[in-house]
Amino acid sequence: MATTTYEIRYPNGRIDAGYDTIADAAAALRSEYPELEYGHDGDLDDHGERTLCWASLDESEDDDGSSAIASIYRSEPDVYFLR
């Protein structure tokens, strides 16, 4: 059975993968953005597709996601077929 991991996707296309939890991914972002704010209605904790991340609370307020510095997604598991 595949283990769920998380990845950070940046607007420039960069992906950092292999985080065990959403909080681990957020902690990695927080090392670069100490005032990181993440989470919203419909995020991964609400069974949504992604969790948006902003550089600060001020940037997150009333934002539609266009000011997000990154998004956290569930990583797609590698699938191997045995013959």
- Give the pLDDT confidence score for residue 1 in this predicted structure: 52
Q: What sign does the CA torsion over 31, 8, 39, 5 have?
A: negative
Q: Where are the domains of the chain?
A: 6-74
> Each residue of 25-78: pLDDT tens digit?
999 999 999 999 999 999 999 999 999 999 999 999 999 999 999 999 999 765
Exposure pattern of 31-50 as b/e (b: 16+ CB <10 Å)?
eebeebbbbbeebbeeeeeb
Residue 70's nearest CA partner among 9, 6, 1 is 9
> Each residue of 10-20: pLDDT tens digit?
999 999 999 99
User: What distance in Å separates the CA atoms of residue 6 and residue 13, rounded to the nearest whole number?
Assistant: 16
